[in-house]
Amino acid sequence: MHLILSLFLLAGLLPAQKKTIFMITDAEGVGGVCRQDQTDPKDQEMRQLLTGEINAAVDGFLAGGADEVLVWDGHDGSQTLSTLTIHPKAKLLMGATGPSMLMDRRFSAVAYIGQHSKANIRGGIMAHSYSSLGIQNMLLNGKPVGEIDVIAAMAGHFGTPIIMLSGDRAAAAELHEIVPDAELAVVKEGLGRYSCISLSAAAARDLIRETARRSVARIGSIKPYTVSGPVTLQIEYTTRNSLPVGAELRAGAQVLDDRTIRFQGKDILDVWTIYRSR
């Protein structure tokens, strides 16, 4: 059957499947952004820097052969990007995506733009795992993780590969550990939590554009990152009052101490759904 479908595709009798890239964006990994105050969604310079990197990536993906790019405004409650300035050939996703992170739409590939590293990483610029104020540690099957691992695992659950990341050197190393063939655009290097050496905006955009263009060719050769089930997710909060009263009443949840809770599910989607149901 697969051979017959392939022959039909070659003969032009069936439409080829569209290549759709799901781009997940953040602010802390953007070139030229090194201070916490710069990550405010109202900060105009940060918005321009992030939008410039996103639009460069869209240019690269399209030049590499992608048909569609969906951009998720993933920073601080989806308050950073605007349809006024986003690439005219991209679509913008604003707001929450639900536990599946929209991965159930089965995109051709996922890319991170402006990505930071997980919490407690030396040299990670504003490194954190989902919440810089509320979460001290996040562990997936006992491994310290942040957005990079969780998103990659969720994408992999639906058979979707990670093909690219732009961000600081620590974030690039973090993705390389789990997806060694992904294309990486390092736009800055951390000297401390709020100190960095950054490329110029123009140089960062050129690098991201070319990296995105190359990455499209990796679709089909990069294997999706998967986490074997059952899956445990452990959250250590920064303060005792971050752990909701009655949190242990949720199915699959176990309170370990005043600041730590563990969830268990059959797979990453299951355990993330339990966690996000708070």
168 in a structural domain: yes
Q: What is the pLDDT of residue 89?
A: 98
Same structural domain, 205 and 271: no
- Residue 64, sorted as left (phi over 0), alpha (psi -120 to 50) or beta, turns out to be alpha
Q: How many domains does the chain have?
A: 2
- Residue 201's domain is classified under what CATH number? 3.40.50.10780
Domain co-membership, 199 together with 245: no
Rounded Cα–Cα distance for residues 107 and 71 (Å): 12
Q: How far apart are the first and last CA of the chain?
A: 45
Give the pLDDT of residue 10.
Answer: 40
pLDDT of residue 5: 39
Q: Are residues 175 and 267 in the same domain?
A: no
Does 133 reside within a domain? no
The per-residue pLDDT string of the chain (278 residues; one tens digit each, 9 = 90 and over) reads 444 434 334 444 445 689 999 999 999 999 999 999 999 989 999 999 999 999 999 999 999 999 999 999 988 888 899 999 999 999 999 998 888 999 998 899 999 999 999 999 999 999 999 998 899 999 999 999 999 999 999 999 999 999 999 999 999 999 999 999 999 999 999 999 999 999 999 999 999 999 999 999 999 999 999 999 999 999 999 988 788 788 888 888 999 999 999 999 999 999 999 998 86
Residue 15 confidence (pLDDT): 54
User: Do residue 262 and residue 239 come from a single domain?
Assistant: yes
CA–CA dist 217, 19 (Å, integer): 11
Same domain, 180 and 268: no
Tokens, residue 270: 């299951």
- Looking at 216, 246, 261, which one is the last position of a domain? 216
**Which structural domain range is residue 262 located in?**
231-276
Domain boundary among 216, 241, 256: 216
- Asked whether residue 26 is assigned to any structural domain, the reply reads yes
pLDDT score of 115: 98
Where are the extended beta strands (E) located within the chain? 20-25, 68-72, 91-93, 109-115, 135-140, 143-144, 162-168, 183-192, 195-198, 231-237, 253-257, 260-265
Q: Give domain status of residue 7, yes or no.
A: no
Q: Do 189 and 53 belong to one domain?
A: yes
Domain match, 237 and 193 both:
no
Query: Is 258 part of a structural domain of the chain?
Result: yes
Residue 132 is assigned to a structural domain of this protein? no
Is 201 among the domain residues?
yes
Same domain, 156 and 208: yes
**Does 79 lie in the same domain as 110?**
yes
User: pLDDT at position 16, please?
Assistant: 61
- Residue located via tokens 């659950």: 157
Question: Is the domain of 245 the same as that of 202?
Answer: no
130 falls within a domain? no
User: What is the distance between the alpha carbons of residues 256 and 262, in angstroms, rounded to a whole number?
Assistant: 7
- Whether 120 and 193 map to the same domain: the answer is yes
